[in-house]
Amino acid sequence: MEFGKALAEATFQNPASSVPSVAAESGIPSVGGVIHLHGDLGAGKTSLTRGLMRGYGYKGAVKSPTYTLVEPYELKYCNIYHFDLYRLSHPEEIEYLGTEDYFAASNLCIFEWAEKGSNIIPPADLRINIGSEGTGRRLSCQSLSEKGELIAKRLWN
């Protein structure tokens, strides 16, 4: 949960903003971006997303959109879209969701099971791998664009 909040702060348009200053349910302007989360079932992809949403001031339930494929969080100051592509049979099914507008540069899109969307979904700015390590988790991040590099630098500074 804490890493999710730190990830949220790293995606704020103004990095001087802090999680406590975010008004409940309003969000805060975001730099946008595409984040691909990779890990086995139960690795913590949705938990990480829940932490990120808490960082943006969202207080409601954050559940895995396994059956709906996408959960939109359209806050006052930003839009965040949480995708779970686990149940896709074919990548082309994404085209039927009517999500083209979701991929605007100012929106933050988080994908679980991004590999099932292959060449249909936008490429990742930041790729986060989640693995088990003892009773905890090990995270590794890879920036894949200028925006991803900006987010990664903010995470570790």
Domains of the chain: 2-155 (3.40.50.300)
Q: What's the rounded Cα separation, in Å, for the pair 132 and 44? A: 9
pLDDT of residue 153: 94
- Give the per-residue pLDDT at 37: 96
Q: How far is CA 57 from CA 2, 105, 136, in A?
A: 14, 21, 25
Q: So what's the pLDDT on residue 78?
A: 92
Residue 38, pLDDT > 70, answer yes
Q: What is the pLDDT of residue 70?
A: 92
pLDDT in tens, 117-150: 988 899 999 999 998 888 888 899 999 999 999 9
Looking at the chain, the number of H-run helices and the number of E-run strands are 3, 6
Average pLDDT, the chain: 88
**Tokens 């933050």 belong to which residue?**
108
The separation between CA 30 and the C-alpha centre of its own chain, rounded to angstroms, equals: 12
Tokens of 16: 């001087």
